[in-house]
Amino acid sequence: MNDFTFDPDTPVMRGARRVLCHANDIGEGGKGFVLRHAHEDNPNATLPIFVIASDGELYCYMNMCPHQGTPLELKPDTFLSVDRKLIQCSTHWAMFRKEDGYCVKGPCVGKTLRAFPVMIDDDGMVLFGD
C-alpha cells in the first residue's frame, strides 16, 4: 500500500525532481496533475500536466491541446481514446501518439503535445523533471 499523498501546494522533491505519485496510481487512462510553484519567475503560475503509461514506459505531456489550448481530458484522469491506443482531445477529438505526442488525426495534425521528462525511482515514485 502506498501512503504518499499528492499535495500541489507543498511539492515533495527528490533532488531537483518533483514527486508526482506512485507508479501504481497511474490508471489505464492516465493521471492528471496541476503543478503549482512550477515556475521560479512566477510562483503563482500553474502547470497542467498528465502522465500515461504505455508498454512499460511513462510519458508526460502538458494537458493542453495545441489546437485551441483546451484541456485534453473529458473527465478527470481520462486522457486516452476508448481503445486506449492514442491520447484524445475531448474538445475536437484530435488524436495524438502516446510515445511522442504527435497529432495524427484532427484539426492540429502535425503539431505535438509539449512533453516533459518523468522517471520512476527505485521505490516506484514518479518523478517530474530533469
pLDDT band at 1 (very low <50, low <70, confident <90, very high): very low
- CATH number for the domain harbouring residue 100: 2.102.10.10
Position 99 in a domain: yes
Position 113 in a domain: yes
Better pLDDT: 1 or 5: 5
How far separated are the first and last CA of the chain, in Å rounded?
27
What is the residue range of 73's domain?
A: 13-128
Structurally, the chain folds into a number of domains equal to 1
Position 101 in a domain: yes
Half-sphere exposure (Cβ direction) of 109: Cα atoms closer than 13 Å: 4
Determine the average pLDDT of the residues in 36-50.
Answer: 83
Position 25 in a domain: yes
Q: Which residues of 55-84 are buried (b: 16+ CB within 10 A; e: fewer)?
A: eeebbbbbbbbbbeeebbbeeebbbbeeee
Rounded to whole angstroms, how far apart are CA atoms 62 and 64? 5
pTM for this prediction? 0.90
